[in-house]
Amino acid sequence: MTSNTDLNDALMARARRVIPGGVNSPVRAFRAVGGTPRFVERARGAYFWDANDQRYIDYIGSWGPMILGHGHPAVLEAVTKAAEQGFSFGAPTEREIELAEEILSLVPSMEMVRLVSSGTEAGMSAIRLARGATGRAKIIKFEGCYHGHADALLVKAGSGLATFGHPTSAGVPPEVVQHTLVLEYNNIDQLEQAFAEHGADVAGLIMEPIAGNMNFVRATVDFTRRCRELCTQHGALLIYDEVMTGCRVALGSAQSVYAQAIPGFEPDITVMGKVIGGGMPLAAFGGKRAVMEQLAPLGPVYQAGTLSGNPVATACGLATLREIKRPGFFESLTAKTRRLVDGLSAAAAAEGVPFSADCQGGMFGFFLLPQLPQNYTQVMKTDGERFNQLFHALLDRGVYIAPALYEAGFVSGAHSDADIDTTVAAAKEAFSLLPK
């Protein structure tokens, strides 16, 4: 399609005049891979259609929430009914209680939960709660783990051990991140030294159990166990950021997966989003009753939100959670995702392309590397140019993966074996075009 007939080009030119970069979230801009973003007109099941009415098999699923696929009948019915009753009240509703009860039943490490509107808001509030509950200031995070765009968490590591954070965004003063320590993911030695030096001042350690913003990098069992042990030993709170993994990698979220390998394992605070909202703006953070009761109006830690517990969003999330609880759903989703990852691996091997991949539940990731990386430094060794070529070759064949090297992918219950077979065939053709 020539540029003068591609409606995506026209929409992007129009968007750039009124929206910074033409998009309302940076990764949508295709700046990393080049080319023009696809402007979505509609979606159904495992597919979406762009402004040119071109259909794509969708492996981002709104970056994770669409675990049932687009337009699931039970979700549509629930949202429609809720919208007819009212969009927002600024007052409590019974459905907020129902959703909270549903979340707590799936993630028993939480005894109480507070609903908010975004993952960033949930992560920011969890950090404030940890500081308020412990009376301490310092926070440990890991390079390559993204916890939203709150000022205190927009930091990366410098050289050396336990480097104090330096802002990675303009507009974040250095003093805002002076209490944030950034360590290498899966590095137990750094972790132990950081607690040895700063343990008495650490309010909390925040981590993604599977880092989904450096593609797909899972925490090792030993690393996870040590995070839990050191937090307990030093009186810090372990904050599990399950915005991406929550009810996505398993019905009980990633913490249930790690609990199988670490008896009794559970975090102190859990941050959730995406799947629990079913595609609506909804997130949550929760933990043990004694910690959560530090929140206003019971305690001194303030947090509020006009649209928190929005009645339409809670209807969407509640319907989604009830569907994924159905017997056999996660077994089927896991099998589909494994089928995709194994197919991609075989296709790459057949074309002699260095490739490694991993998956859990309905979340997956791959690297143009012979072995799976364990941290951000290793992830950065991936050949970005080759990935960009692969991305566009798949796009040309009707397969939509994340338009960035450092993002995980997602399979939904709506993806069929035929969709996966089509994807693998397209990938084999795409791999054959990459320089050897």
The residue assigned the tokens 């990935």 is 387
Catalytic, out of 9, 141, 258, 274: 274
Query: Where does 51-116 show beta strands of DSSP type E?
Result: 55-58, 112-116
Q: Letter for the amino acid at 330?
A: F
Residue type, 126: A
Helix, strand or coil for residue 247? coil
User: Both tokens of residue 34?
Assistant: 């080049």
**Which residue, among 265, 318, 363, 410, has the nearest Cα to 104 in the 3D structure?**
318
Q: What is the 3-state secondary structure (H, E, C) of 177-240?
A: HCCEEEECCCCHHHHHHHHHHHHHHEEEEEECCEECCCCCEECCHHHHHHHHHHHHHHCCEEEE
Q: Which CA distances in Å does 187 have to 305, 343, 398, 431?
A: 37, 31, 39, 33
Closest by alpha carbon to 333, among 344, 319, 348, 323?
A: 323
Residue 299: Cβ-neighbour burial (10 angstroms; 0-12, 13-18, 19+)? middle
Concerning whether 421 is annotated as a catalytic residue, the answer is no
Instruction: Please give the structure tokens belonging to residue 270.
Output: 């859990």
Query: DSSP string covering 336-360, please?
Result: HHHHHHHHHHHHHHHTT---EEEEE
- Nearest CA to 153 out of 126, 133, 134 is that of 126
Burial category of 112 from C-beta neighbours within 10 Å (exposed 0-12, middle 13-18, buried 19 and up) = middle
Cα 299 to Cα 363: distance, rounded to the nearest angstrom: 37
56 counts as catalytic: no
Q: Give me the catalytic one of 50, 58, 241, 268.
A: 241
**Nearest residue to 271 via CA among 208, 178, 222, 357:** 208
Catalytic residue among 146, 185, 258, 376: 146
* 274 in catalytic set: yes
For the purposes of burial, counting CB atoms within 10 Å of the CB of 40, is it exposed (0-12), middle (13-18) or buried (19 or more)?
middle
Look up residue 30 and give its DSSP letter: -
Determine the straight-line distance between the first and last CA of the chain, rounded to whole angstroms.
Answer: 28
Distance CA 419, CA 37 (A): 22
What residues act catalytically?
Answer: 146, 241, 274
